[in-house]
Amino acid sequence: MATGLLTYEEFVRNARDLVVMSDRLGDGWELRHVRQTDGPEETAFLVKRICVAIAEESPVDPETPRDVGEPENIEDEDPATLHCRGTGKLSEKTVQFEYHVIYSPSYQVPVLFFTATFHSGRLVPLKEIWKFLSPFHVTRDSGMEWESVTQQEHPIFGRPFYHLHPCHTSNVMATILTANKHERGDRDIKNYLLSWLTIFGPTIGLNVLIDYLKIDSKT
């Protein structure tokens, strides 16, 4: 991992450990396995859903009213029963973000895929998605979001998803891993995925609870 790269076996191991921590914190990450048609092996990937209440300045489905709210985590599996604290069930006043963390054999790093849908099931356009999220690393008007986030076919399900392009991931992670190794001596970072999510997740509204780092440091 010193190069910033990750093998698929390391990805699965990290994903399992992350889900164990998530279960302890009630944070909603799931590890799923899907058998694809082009091979006998199952593909593992992580899934999390977040419910975001529509703010006054955010776009809404043409058939729905506006409301004010903040992003909240959700835990229910069935989209029909998803809840947002302060707004009740997933409704016309909310947008559902679904995040998938998938291993890329080409880049040898995890890749973050996501969708954002209105209650009606209509996909939120990318240019509107940033209005639902806080400007963490990219300002809404800079135009830089178009350079890092694009729409492409989901590598497992074949549906349109947005994804955070992984071209710089290994370089960024190599820097983080090297710095971490200097601080911790010869010990590698405990969970690559956790560090990766901490860095790249907030870019598109996926925050990592500080409690993960507390748990990870004790394991």
The pTM (predicted TM-score) of the whole model is: 0.79
Q: Look at 115 and 89; give whichever has higher pLDDT.
A: 115
Mean pLDDT (the chain) is 78
| Range list of H helices, 47-150 | 126-129, 145-148
Q: Report the C-alpha gap between 165 and 179 in whole angstroms.
A: 23
Range with the lowest mean pLDDT among 42-46, 144-148, 187-191?
144-148
Q: Are 90 and 72 in contact (CB under 8 A)?
A: no
Range with the lowest mean pLDDT among 55-59, 153-157, 183-187, 188-192?
183-187
Of 37, 23, 9, 12, nearest to 211 by C-alpha is: 23
H/E run at residue 109? strand 109-118
How would residue 100 be classed by pLDDT, with cut points 50, 70 and 90? Answer: very high
Mean pLDDT of 73-98: 59
pLDDT of residue 140: 46
Q: Look at 178 and 28; give whichever has higher pLDDT.
A: 28
**CATH code for the domain defined by 8-210:** 3.30.1460.50
For the chain, how big is the Rg over CA atoms in Å?
18
- Domain spans of the chain? 8-210
Q: Where in the sequence numbering do the catalytic residues fall? A: 167
3-state secondary structure of 8: helix
